[in-house]
Structure 1
Amino acid sequence: MRFLFGRFVLLSLLAGVLGLAALTAPAWALEPVSISGDDTAIDLKPATDIYRNRGNNFQVATVPGADGIVRRIEVEAKSPRASGNWAVFALANNSDDQIDRLVVAPHFRLVGSGLLWPDLGSQRIASITPSQGFALERQPSSDADVFLVTLDPGTVITFVAELTSAKLPDLRLWEPNAYKDTINAFTLYRGIVLGIAGLLAVFLTILFVVKGSAMFPAAAALAWAVLAYICIDFDFWQKLMPLQPGQEPIWRAGTEAALAFSLAIFLFAYLNLNRWHRAVSISLVLWLLLLAGLGALSVFDPVIASGIARLSLAATAGIGLALIIGLAFHGFDRAVMLIPTWCLIILWLVAGWMTITGRIDNDIIQPALGGGLVLIVLLIGFTVMQHAFAGGTFAQGLLSDMERRSLALAGTGDAVFDWDVSRDRIFAGADGEALAGMPIASMNGPARDWLPVLHPDDRDRFKLTLDTILEHRRGRISQEFRLRDEDGHYHWVSLRARPVLGSDGEVVRCVGTLKDVTDLKKAEERLLHDALHDQLTGLPNRELFMDRMQAIGILAETRPDVHPTIFVIDLDRFKQVNDDFGIATGDTILLTVGRRLKRILKPQDSLARLGSDQFGLILVSETEVGAVAAFAEMLREAIKAPIMLANREIVLTGSIGLSGWAEQAVPEEVLKEAELAMYQAKRFGGDRIEPFRPAYKTIGSGRLQLESDLRRAFERGELSLAFQPIVRLDGGAVAGFEALMRWEHPKRGAISPAEFVPVAESTGLIVQLGQYALEEAAKRLGDLQRLTGDMSLFMSVNISSRQLIRQDLIADVKTVLERYRLPPETLKLELTESLVMDNPERSAQLLTRLRQLGVGLSLDDFGTGYSSLAYLMRFPFETLKIDQSFLRNNNQPQRPIILHSIVTMAHDLGLKVVAEGVESDLDVVQLRQLNCEYAQSFMFSPPLTFEAASRMLSDRMNGMKRAS
C-alpha cells in the first residue's frame, strides 16, 4: 500500500511539473494570412495553431507587425467555464484600403465529424482578442460564431480566439456581402428542400390514412424523420423552437436515432418480413427496441447515441441489401421494386461515410446529403404509390433491340462509318456536330476518295488497315488519323469499326463510328510538353535535359568528332532580387536571362532550366578549348547585361561551372561535376567561370562533413566560449570581456571560427550559434559580477546578420537580462559596419529598440567597411571599436593621423573607444594621449576559459585587498 501511495504521489508531482512547463512554454502564431480586397472567402484552418489545456491565461508572441516588431500579448479567458483551449491566427492587410471581414466558425460541420464518437456541434469560439485594437464584435447567428473584424491598411494583427470546445472543425474569413449571398443562396436551397420534404411527409401521411397497409405508416414515419433531421441540419428547428446552449447535440442525435429506427421499420414493413422465419421477426423486433431506446440515450449521452445510430444505418443498409437480393432472386416483386431505392440509400450512406471521415471536404456536401435524403423519400413515395394505385406491377419495355442500338448510337454523338466493300462505297455522317466542318461530300464515296483529305503521314496506315481487315476477315479497327477540314486545318479523328462477314466468309461491310478527338489530342500534347518543359521559360526541364545528355553521350561514343561540354549556370543574389522586387519581377528576370542564353546557342546546342535560378547547357557546336572558353565568357557577359524593369536597372551576375565529356562518362556524374564547379565559383565570390577539377569533390564532401559535425556539436557539448579581457587604459584594470566562440572537435581538435562560422551562416546554424553565445555569455557575466561584486563589469557578444534580421532578437535579449538579473548596460552587443549597412533603415529601428532596453551597442571593426558618417550619426552606438589594422605594423606615417581622427571623431559623437590589436607600450602611451578608454589584445591577455577569467579577477581582488 505504501508503495502504491508513493507511486501515486510521484506521478502527481511529475504531471504537475509537465503541466507547469506546458503553461509557461511560449506559443507562436503562424505566418500571417495576406488579405486583399478581392478575396471573398479564405480558409483559416491551415493557418491556425490550436493550443489545448493552457488554462485561463494564455500568452503568445505575435507575428511581426508592419514595423517588424514582435510583441507578446496575454489573453484572459472571458467565458465563465473556460475550456483552456485557444486558437491563434494572424491576418495582414497588404492593400491600401480598410477591409472588413467576418471570421466564421460554424457550430456543426458534418465533414470530419466522425463515426463512433461524432462531433455533434456546439459553440466553438467564446471571444476573439486581437493583438491591437478592441475585441471583435460578435454578429448575431444561430448556427455559427461570427465576428466582425476591421483591418486597417498595412496592418498585421495576431488574433487569439478563446475556444469553448476542444475541436474547431472549420474557420473561415468571409467578405461580408459574399457571406450574406452564400447564406441567402443556401437559404433558398434549404427552403426548397424543406418544402419538398414537408409535402412528402404530409402526402405519405394522407396516403397512410387512405391505404391501411403497414408499409404506408412506415414510409410516412421515415418521411417525418427525414424532415426532422433536415430541420435540425438546416438550422430551421432553431427558428421554430429556440434551443438552449448545449441542446443541439441532443436533438441531432435524436433525429439520427429516428432515421435509423424509421429506416429499419420501413424495411421490415415493406418486405413483410413477419411472414418469413420467426427468428428473423424476433431479431428485428429486438433491434427496433434497441433503436427506440436510443432516443432516451440521446438525452444523457448524445455522442454515443449518434454513433450507434450511424452504425445502425450502415447495418440496416447491409442487411437490407442481402435480404432484397435474396428475395428478388426468388421473384418477390416488392424486393425487385425496392432495388433502385436501396441502391440510392447505399450510395447516400457511402457519401455520408466519406463525408464524416473527411474524405469528401467541401461546403456543398452537407446540404447535398440533406437533399439526397429527400430524394430517397421521394423515390420511396413513388415505390409505395405503385402499390397503392397500380398494384405493384412493372410496365414492360416496348423498344426493340435495334431501336435501342439506334438510340444508343444517337446518344453518343458519334458519326457513322459504313463501308460497303462489294460496292466500294463509304458512308460517313451524323445528324449532330460530330464531323462539323469536314468535307463530307468527299468522304462519301470510294475508299480512295479519303486519301486526299487524309494527312500525308496517315495515308499509308489507313490503306494498310483496310487491306488487313479484308485479308484476315476478322479483327477490329481502332485507329486515330488526321482529316483536313473545309478550311484546310487538320482534325484528329478516331475510327472504331469491325467487319461484317457474308455467307461465304468474306467481308461485305465494315461498320463503326467516327469521333473528333482533336481536343483530346491537344490535351495530351500539352500534358506531354508540360511534363518535359519549364512552364515559365518554356525551356526543357531537368528530366528532358538528362534525356538529351543520354542521347549526346551515345552519339559521343560513336562519333569521335563530338566532344560535348556541360555547363551549369546559377544566378548570384537572385534570392535578394525576389525579396526586394517580388516574385513577379524575379520570374521576368528568369525569362529574360533564358532568352538571352538561348540566343547565343547554335541549333545543335541545348539549354534547360534545372531549378529555381539554375540553368543547364549542353555545348556541342564548339570543341576547341579556346572556343569553349570564349563561349563561356559570352554567357557571363549576357547575364551581366543590365535589365530594365519599371525604370529600374537590375544587374545580375552568374556563377558558371563546366565539365568536359570523357570516354564512358555517366551523364549524372558529368552534371554533378559541373554543379561542383559552379558551387566553387560561388565560393570565390560569383561572377566567375570555373572548370571542374577533381579536388572539388573533396571540398564538397569536407564541407558537408563539417556541417554535419557542427549540427551534432550542439548535442555533444563541443561548443564553448572564450573570454578576452577588455582593460581600461587608465589604470590597467579589467573592465569587461568579449565572448568568443570556440569549437573543440573530438577528432580534429580546435576548429577556427573562420572555418566553421561561414558554414554556419550558409546553413542557418549561425542563429543557433548566436543564441548559444548570447545565453552563455549572459550567464557567465552574471557569475563574474556576483564573484567580484562589481556590477559594472560588462560582456561584449557578437551579433550575426541572421540574428539581426530575425524578429526574436529583442525578445532573446530581454529574456537573458531578466533570467540572469543583469544590469542592461553591462551586456554589450557588437555589430560590424557591413552588417549594419546591409539594411540601414531596419538596423536603425532595431538598434533604437535595443537601446531602449538599456543594452550597450558597440560598432566593431570600424574603418574597414562602409564608414558613412551620415549613417553613423543615426545609429545609437555608445562604443566604437577600432580595427586592429590601424595599430598592427604601424610603420606608415599616415596611420597615427587616421587613428587620431577616428578617436577624436568618436569622442565628439559621445562614443567610447576600444582599440584592438595593441602590440607595444608605445601604442598604449599613444592611445592614452588620445584619451582612448579601453584596449583589447594579446598584449594584455589572450582569450581565457571561464575558470581562468574567474581566477584572474579573484587574484586581482585579493591583490588589491592585500595592498589596502
Structure 2
Amino acid sequence: MPLRLFLALCVLLLAALAPLAPAEAVEAVAIRLNARVTDLLPAVERIATDTDRIQISTVPGTDGIVRRIEVHAADGRQKADWIVFALANNTDEQVDRLIVAPFYRMVGSGLFWPDLGNRRILNLTPSQGFKPERQAAPDADVFLVTLDPGSTVTFIAEMTGPSLPQLYLWEPDAYKDKVNSFTLYHGIVIGIAALLALFLTILFVVKGSVMFPAAAALAWAVLGYIGLDFSFWSKVFGLSPVAEQFWRAAGEAVLTATLLVFLFAYLNLNRWHVRYVHVAAGWLAFLAALVVVALLDAPMAAGIARLSLFTVAVLGLGVVIWLAQHSYDRAVLIIPTWLLLVVWVVMAGLTVEGLVTNDLVAPALSGGLVLIVMLIGFTVMQHAFAGLGVIQGSSSELERRALALAGSGYMVWDWDVDSDRIYTSPEAEEALGLKRRSLETEAAGWLEVLHPADRDRFRATLDGIIDQRRGRIDQDFRLRAIDGHYLTFNLRARPVVGADGEVVRCIGTLTDVTGERMAAERLLHDAVRDNLTGLPNKELFLDRLDQAITFARIDDTLKPTVMFIDLDRFKQVNLSVGMAMADSILLTVARRMMRLMKPQDTLARISGDQFGLILMSERDPERITTFADTLRRSLRAPITFADREVFITASIGLVLAGPDLAKRNEVLKDAELAMYFAKRIGGDRIEVFRPAMRQQKIDRVSLEADLRQALERDEILVRYQPIVRLGDRGIGGFEAFLRWRHPTLGELSASEFLPIAEESGLILELGLFALEKAARQLAQWQRQVRVEPPLFMNVNVSSRQLLRHDLIQDLKAVLSRNPVAPGSLKLEVTEALVMENPEYAAVMLARIRELGAGLCLDDFGTGQSALSYLQRFPFDTIKIDRRFVHESAKGAARAARPVIVGSIIDLAHHLGMDVIAEGVEKDAEAEEMGAFGAEYAQGVLMGEPLTSEECRALFEPASSEPRRKRQAAAG
C-alpha cells in the first residue's frame, strides 16, 4: 500500500512538471577549436510558457548525470518565450566563445509585417560554470561564454519575443575581424553615398531644373537608408533598438517617396497633365501617412512601404518604356538604370522572403543601391552640362539684331526646356493687364491663361518641337486679359539644339494681332451673319437647309422641319416706338427663340421681321407642333422698355419633312405660304403647309381692292354667336362677327380679311359698320324680348379704333340712333391691345363707360397684364380664353388648370365682373365652368354664328311665355 501511494504521488508530480519540461531532448553542439563560426539555430529548441519560470532537464554530461534547473523571467512577465541549447567542450582546453544574436537581418525579414529587429535575448543562464558576460555591441546581443575542458553546458535564454532569425557561436577574434571588415566596407559605401548626395545638391544650386533637387533628395534618402541598414546612425546618435525600428520603416517609406518624385520630375510628367500631378501627390501623401503609421506599428508600415517600392519600380518601368517608344529622349536614357533598379527590387524581394540567404547579399544590395543612384546622377549630369547651341555672329551683329527686334515692337518669347521656364517681354503682360513676371512660369502655367480651345494645340506644338528637334512655330494663341476678354498673339519661334542634339530652349517673338484677326473674323462673319442679331442670314440659312435636305435623303431617320416666322403688325410697332427700339425688339425676339433651340437646330433672320428655323432636334410630329406652339407663346410675352410694354405676336408657317423633299427654295416658299395663311386668318397662329394652299393662294393686292368696294356692294354681313347663361341655359347675349360674301371666293371669315383691313386702314369703316349693325339689331331684340337682365351684344374693337378719339364720337352717335339698355352694348377688346398703352387705354375706356356702353376684356389670362392696371380698367365682363376651358392639358398642367380657372373667376367676381367661358365644346366643360362660378358660356356647344333670322327662332320660347301668362290672367 505505501508503494502504490508513492507511485501515485510520482505520477502527479510528473504531470505538474510536464508543461515546464521540453517536449524533446536537446542535443549538445560540440565545439571545434578550428571553427570560426557555428550556426546554433538548428540546435535550438523554442519554448513558450504561461508562467514566469521554466524548468528543464539538462543535457547529460560526460558522467551521464541529468540535472534539472529552473529559471525565472528577469522582468517578471507572466508569459515568456525561451530558447534552450547545449554546448559541449570535448577538448582538454578551456574555450572562450561569443554567442551572437543579431538585432536585424535583411535576409528572411519578410515582406508583410517584416521583422525589423530589436533586442533578442534578455538574459542567458548556463546550467553550470561561469555566467555569460554581455558584450557591448550596437547591432546584436553578444554574450561571452567560457567552457571548461570536457564539460557540457545547457543554456536557457530568455527572449524578448518569439522571433529569432539568427544565432551564431563565434570565435572571439574571428568575430572581431568580421566586424572590422564590414565596418570598412560600410564606411566606403556610406562615404560614396554621402559624396554623391552632396554633389547632386551642389548641382541643384548650379542648375535650377527640378530634376536635380529630386535626384539629390533620392541620394540623401539612400544615404539615410543604408546608414540605418549598417547601424551607422545607431552608433552616431545612440538610437535604441525600438527607435531604430521606427526609423527603418520611415526610411523605406521616404526612399519610395523620393524615387517617385525623381521619376515624376525627370520625365517631366507635370508639363501638361494635371491629373498626373494629382496621382503623384496622392501617392506621396499616402507615403507620408506611412511615417505616422510607423510610430504606431513599424512592421506594418515597413511592409506597405516595400510593396509601394516594388509598385513604383514596375509602373515606372512601364511609363519609361512607353515614353521611349514615343521618342522621348529622357526616357531612352534612363531605361538601363531603371532596369537595374527593377532587378535590384526583385533581388531584394527574394532576399527578404528568405529565398536568397547568402551572408553577402545584404551588403551587396546596399552597395548596388548606391550604384543605381550614381548612375542616376550621371544621367542627370548629362542634362546639366549639355552645352547650348553656339549662336554665330559677332557681338556687334548680336547688338544689331537686338536693336532691330526692340524697334520692330515684337515681344521676346523664350522657353528654357531644361528648367521648363518661359520668359516674355514685359510688353506682353502690360497688354494683358497682368502683374510683372506673371507669364514667366512653367509651360503648364500658360494653360491657365490660354483660351480653352487653344490649350491642346499649344501642348502639341511644344511637344512636336521637342520630339522633332527642328521646325518652326507660327501659331496664333488667345491669352486671357485681367478683365476676362482674350487678346490674340502670334507666336513665331524656333528650337535651339544643344551639343547633345537635344532641344535646350525655344526662342522667338510674340505679336499682338488682335485687331487684324478681329477684322478678318468680322469680314467672314458679316458675309454669312445678320449684323443686328448675329444670326445666320438668308444665304447661310439656305445653305444649311440644302445640307439638311441632302442628309434627310441619305438617312431616313433625319426629318428636318422648316418654319417661317413673321412678326404680326411689326410695321406699326416700328412706327410707334421708333427704329432704335424696334431693333431692340428684334434682338429680344431672336434671344427668346434661341433659348428654345438645341445645337443641331438653325435659326436665321431672313429679312426685316421674318425669321427662318430648321428644326432637327424633334422628329415626332406632335412634338414638332408642341415646339412651334411653345415658340409662339414665348413671343407673346410683353417686352418692357422703360415705362412701357410692347406685345408682339407671330404667324408661323411650318413645313413637315416628307418622302418627296423639294429643293431648298421651294421648301422655303412653302413655309412662307403657310405663314401667310396663318396671318390671313388673324395672326398669332401656326399653319402647317398643305399642297392645296398653292391653289388657294390669294392675291393680297386684288383682295384689298375688292375689300374697298365691299361695303358699297353690300357684301359685308354680320353674324351673331349666342352667349348662354350657365345657370338655366338661356340666351344671355350675342357676339357680333363680320363676314364677307366675296363674289368669287365665297363667304370669308373675319380672320381672313381683317388683317388686310388693319394694314390698309379700312378697319375703321368696317368697325363702325359692325358697331352700327350690332347696336341696331340689339335694340330690335330688346324691344321684342323683355328679359332680366336684358340681352347684351359684344362687338370687337381693333387697335386703330381704340387709339382714335373718333371712337368716342362714333359710339355716341350709334347709341343716340339706337336706344339700348345701359351697358348692354359691350365693346370687346383684347388684353394685349389694352396693355399696348395702358395709360391711354384707361382714359378711353372710362369715357366709353360714361357714354353708357359696356366693356368686355377678351383673352384674359394669356397676356402679361399687371393686376394694378386691371383694377383701374372699368371692365364689367371678362372672357376666359379657350385654352383654360379645354381639358387638353396633361400632367402637371392638367392638375393646375382648375386652380388657375378658379382663381381667375374669383378675381373677376371680387372686381365686380361677370365671366364668359369662351370655346366651350362639351357639356362636361359647360358644367365644369358653371361649377367654378362662371355666369356665361360661348362656343360650338351653344351654337355657331347665326344670321339675325336664325337668332329670332331662339327667342320664340322666351317671347311667347309672357303672352300666355297675360292671356291666362285675362281669362
What interval of TM-score do these two structures reach, taking the shorter chain for normalisation? Answer: 0.3 to 0.5
Instruction: Provide the TM-score with structure 2 as the length reference.
Output: 0.38
- State TM-score, norm by structure 1: 0.38
Structure whose alpha-carbon radius of gyration is higher: 2
